């Protein structure tokens, strides 16, 4: 006789069904601003060297940019907040929908609009990338410390939260946040994802 199904297994199965559309493909997780659990940089952590960086991306050439924190007093190394890398064929279409030809350039700007809560804006908003060569966005939570649930202690609960972190995107101020397919690397304290276009992003759970 088969073993009875546990309540936890039933709940998990129900959630799986609820998260799938009519075609059986899982729908992306969406939350309102009030439902999103944002991280918080510790109060004593050094500030960003700069909250904004710009560069010219040329179709046919690899490019990228980073945002860094100042090093701690007496330390030689600083920590990275954001790493953005794009390939030679990543650029696809401008915000107005026109194609980007080989050799054409686009001025790209990364702005930490809320560095305390790990929120960043990419411009020009609406820039699109090719599906076969999407840029990679990496966001690092080193500056948030080990107590990521802010209960005053570092324990297994913090490790669970770290494993659930993801990169979320928001199309505009006040719009819902959508979770992107993300990969967590606890060793380097980073979460990475592929970027299809430019908008606002946050590291949250």
pLDDT tens sequence across 145-197? 999 999 999 999 999 999 999 999 998 878 999 999 999 999 999 999 999 99
Cα separations (Å) of 186 from 29, 50, 128, 165, 183?
Answer: 22, 25, 30, 10, 10
Give yes or no for residue 53 having a pLDDT over 60. Answer: yes
Nearest to 117 by CA among 34, 39, 37, 31: 39
pTM above 0.85, yes or no: no
Q: What gap in Å lies between CA 125 and CA 123, rounded to an integer?
A: 5
pLDDT of residue 174: 83
Give yes or no for residue 33 having a pLDDT over 70. Answer: yes
Cα separations (Å) of 87 from 45, 53, 61?
Answer: 32, 18, 7
pLDDT of residue 76: 75
Cα separations (Å) of 139 from 39, 78, 174, 192, 196?
Answer: 12, 15, 22, 6, 16
What band does 5 get if pLDDT is binned at 50, 70 and 90? very low
Nearest to 142 by CA among 71, 76, 85, 79: 79
pLDDT of residue 103: 97
Name residue, tokens 């020009």. Answer: 124
Domains in the chain: ranges and CATH: 19-204 (2.60.220)
Name residue, tokens 């980007």. Answer: 100
Q: What gap in Å lies between CA 82 and CA 60, rounded to an integer?
A: 23
Mean pLDDT of 86-105: 97
Give yes or no for residue 1 having a pLDDT over 50. Answer: no
How confident is the model over 120-158, as pLDDT tens digits? 999 999 999 999 999 999 999 999 999 999 999 999 999
pLDDT of residue 148: 93
Mean residue pLDDT of the chain comes to 88
Q: What gap in Å lies between CA 1 and CA 83, rounded to an integer?
A: 54
Give yes or no for residue 3 having a pLDDT over 50. Answer: no
Give yes or no for residue 22 having a pLDDT over 60. Answer: no
């Amino acid at each position: 006789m088969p073993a009875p199904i546990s309540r936890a297994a039933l709940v998990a199965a129900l959630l799986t069904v609820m998260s799938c559309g009519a075609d059986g493909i899982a729908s992306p997780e969406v939350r309102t601003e009030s439902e999103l659990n944002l991280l918080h940089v510790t109060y004593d952590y050094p500030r960003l060297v700069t909250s904004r960086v710009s560069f010219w991306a040329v179709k046919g050439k690899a490019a990228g940019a980073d945002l860094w924190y100042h090093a701690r007093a007496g330390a030689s190394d600083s920590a990275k907040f954001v790493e953005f890398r794009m390939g030679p064929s990543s650029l696809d279409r401008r915000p107005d929908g026109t194609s980007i030809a080989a050799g054409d350039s686009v001025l790209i700007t990364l702005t930490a609009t809320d560095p305390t809560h790990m929120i960043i804006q990419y411009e020009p908003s609406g820039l699109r990338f090719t599906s076969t060569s999407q840029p990679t966005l990496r966001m690092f939570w080193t500056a948030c410390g080990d107590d990521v649930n802010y209960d005053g202690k570092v324990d297994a609960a913090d490790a669970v939260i770290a494993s659930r972190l993801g990169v979320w995107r928001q199309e505009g101020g006040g719009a819902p946040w959508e979770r992107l397919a993300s990969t967590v690397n606890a060793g380097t304290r980073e979460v990475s994802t592929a970027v299809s276009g430019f908008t606002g992003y946050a590291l949250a759970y």
